[in-house]
Amino acid sequence: MPKGEFVQDEKTAHPYIRVTDMFSDRLDTSKIKYITDPQFEKIKRYIISSDDVYVSNAGTIGLVGKVPKWLSGANLTENALKITEMDKSKITQDFLMYFLRSHKGQEQIRARTGGSSQPKLALTRLADVVIHTPDIFTQKEITDILTSYDDLIYNNTSRIQILEQTAQAIYAEWFVNFRFPGHEKVRMVDSGTDFGKIPEGWSIGKLSDLVNITMGQSPSSDFYNESGEGSPFHQGVTNFDFRFPTTTTFSTGGTRRASAGDILFSVRAPVGRINVADRNMIIGRGLSAMRSVSESQSYLLYNLKNHFATEDLIGGGAIYASVTRADLSNFPLVIPDAKIINLFEELVSPFDGLIFNISHNLSVLRCSRDLLLPKLVTGEIKIK
């Protein structure tokens, strides 16, 4: 995007795909942003077709996928490359995508990533990746197997998204529009702040009135490993997923911890991205962990998602590259009557329990697929 210009939520004819929409095994289209006609004219070279394969080449490097047909022609971030015009007599789009996602593909991408402070994958280096391809018929058989897993994963992910969207809609109805149970009998009063009128009995406070905050601190890299030794370790948002992070790194040292169920909130760019800890873990300096002081964790989650729907904005619309404990603690908000919070918790926490169970099933599916993927695309497992 041109300097000083930003994407928007309002729908236009020009969707804009960001690296933040990309995950290790899919494109999340639930929060697609858009640009205006004048912005499109400036960057119209940067578009992607549903026949192309994208590869993120800056920030989180090596995210690989394809866009659905309804996004064909969308603008693609400058932090991603596209592979286009494949020789389809030699390789299919899906096989190429799965190969680049496999351990062999990711290993080559990492080996070709240059730069230390701001690593980047150059186009010419990506072109040097060596791909071992079986015949087209075998490629299609391999990708049919992997796609069947992806379809199940997609369906389960859609269920999670519907549950979360429903919970978020209830939150907005009760705590943004003030149409909570019994609201007809509650008088609106002037809060004396920028929040304007609020229901009588509610108050203006700050985030620290609702939560205990743990700021992350990174242990020495000497403690890191990928063999499962110690506790799961998350430095920032690299392995954030739709709801729960995917753990690939562990640490045998570290004193700053998040407990299962804590809300993980990124405090370094992108500020305000949210996940939930699915287990006890060590957190690094890019994250904070939040726990409701009243055990109203579902209310806290949807409260934060509402306030930080736009990343890197905190307080007064100011753009932040990082935030401190004080910034978070002093974040102003409306504090509802405790009875209404408890009613919301009783209604919505079962949604979150179901989301956790579906996510566990997703993890099993992903694990099975990811065990098969490298063996299939490298020919270790033969298709009969």
Are both 14-132 and 163-343 of the same fold? yes
DSSP SS3 for 332: strand
What's the confidence (pLDDT) of residue 353? 95
Kindly state the tokens that stand for 189. 């009063």
In the DSSP assignment, the letter for residue 262 is P
Nearest to 321 by CA among 236, 232, 247: 236
What CATH number was assigned to the domain covering residues 163-343? 3.90.220.20
**Residue 172 to residue 129: CA distance in whole angstroms:** 48
Q: Are 82 and 53 in contact (CB under 8 A)?
A: yes
**Residue 242 to residue 363: CA distance in whole angstroms:** 12
Phi, psi of 89 (to 5 degrees): -80, -15
For the chain, the structural domain boundaries read 14-132, 163-343
Q: Which ranges constitute the DSSP H helices of 112-222?
A: 123-126, 136-171
**Residue 1 to residue 184: CA distance in whole angstroms:** 46
Residues lower than pLDDT 50 in the chain: none
Nearest to 63 by CA among 109, 127, 111: 109
Four-residue CA torsion sign, 28, 96, 82, 130? positive
- Please give the C-alpha separations between residue 374 and each of 1, 80, 366, in angstroms, as whole numbers: 36, 23, 13
Q: Are 245 and 239 in contact (CB under 8 A)?
A: yes
Kindly state the tokens that stand for 31. 């929060």
What's the confidence (pLDDT) of residue 315? 52
331-345 pLDDT, tens digit per residue, is 999 999 999 999 999
What CATH number was assigned to the domain covering residues 14-132? 3.90.220.20
How many C-beta atoms lie closer than 10 Å to residue 265's C-beta? 24
Interhelix angle 136-171/338-377, rounded to 10 degrees, is 180
What is the pTM (predicted TM-score) of this model? 0.79
Nearest to 378 by CA among 64, 86, 25, 131: 131
**Residue 150 to residue 65: CA distance in whole angstroms:** 12
What's the confidence (pLDDT) of residue 269? 80
